[in-house]
Structure 1
Amino acid sequence: MLDVKDLTLKYGQSQILNGINLTAQKGQITAVMGTNGVGKTSLLKAIAGRHPFASGTISLDNVPLEKHTAVNAARAGIAYVPQGREVFPMMTVTENLETGFACLDGGGHSIPDHIYDLFPVLRDMSGRRGGDLSGGQQQQLAIARALITKPSVLLLDEPTEGIQPNIIKHIGEVIETLRDQGEIAIVLVEQFFDFAFDLGDRFVTMSRGSVTLDALSADVERQQLLDLVSV
Structure 2
Amino acid sequence: MLEIQDLTLKYGQSQILHGISLTAEPGKVTGVMGTNGVGKTSLLKAIAGRHPFANGSITLNGQTLGHPTAFAAAKAGIAYVPQGREVFPLMTVEENMQTGFACLGGAGGHRIPDRIFDLFPILKEFLHRRGGDLSGGQQQQLAIARALITQPKVLLLDEPTEGIQPSIIKQIGRVIEVLREEGEIAIILVEQYFDFAVGLADQVFVINRGQVTFNSPNPKQDRATLLESVSI
Q: Which TM-score applies when normalising by structure 2?
A: 0.98
Q: Does 1:7 align with 2:7?
A: yes
**1:100 corresponding residue in structure 2:** 100
TM-superposed deviation, 1:220: 4.6
> Structure 1: how far apart are the matches of 2:140 and 2:166?
13
The answer to whether the aligner puts 1:156 opposite 2:157 as a matched pair is yes
Give the secondary-structure state (helix, strand or coil) at the position aligned to 1:146: helix
Q: Does 1:130 align with 2:135?
A: no
Show CA shifts across 1:43-62 (max 9, x none): 00000000000000000011
Structure 2: distance between partners of 1:147 and 1:61: 19
Q: Any unmatched runs of 5+ in structure 2?
A: none
Report the AA paired with residue 175 of structure 1: I
2:76 is aligned with what amino acid?
Answer: A
Q: Secondary structure at the match of 1:95?
A: helix
Deviation, structure 1 residue 218: 5.9
Residue 36 (structure 1) aligns with: 36
For structure 1, the 5+ residue unaligned runs are: none
- Give the AA of the match of 2:133: D
Per-residue CA deviation, residues 197-231 of structure 1 (Å, 9 max, x unaligned), is 10000010000000011221268521100000014
Structure 2 CA distance, aligned partners of 1:66 and 1:207?
Answer: 25
Structure-2 change in CA distance of 1:212 and 1:220 (3 Å) = farther
| Corresponding position: 1:21 with 2:21 | yes
Instruction: Provide the residue aligned with 1:45 in structure 2.
Output: 45
The runs of at least 4 aligned residues of structure 1 exceeding 3 Å deviation read none
Matches within 5 A, 1:1-231: 1-106=1-106, 107-217=108-218, 220-231=221-232
How many residues were matched structurally? 231
- Asked if 1 retains the 8 angstrom alpha-carbon contact of 2:27 and 2:183, the reply is yes
Distance 2:164 2:48 in 1: 24
CA distance in 2, matches of 1:66, 1:95: 31
- Residue identity over aligned pairs, in percent, reads 69
Residue by residue, what CA displacement relative to the aligned partner does 1:10-57 show, whole Å, maximum 9, x if unpaired?
000000000000100000000000000000000000000000000000
On the 8 A contact 2:53/2:67 being kept in 1, the answer is no
Whichever residue aligns with residue 142 of structure 2, its letter is L
- Letter in structure 2 aligned against 1:20: I
Q: Distance in 2 between matches of 1:88 and 1:15?
A: 32
Give distance in 2, aligned partners of 1:217 and 1:137. Answer: 32
Determine if contact 2:93/2:142 at 8 Å carries over to the other structure.
Answer: yes
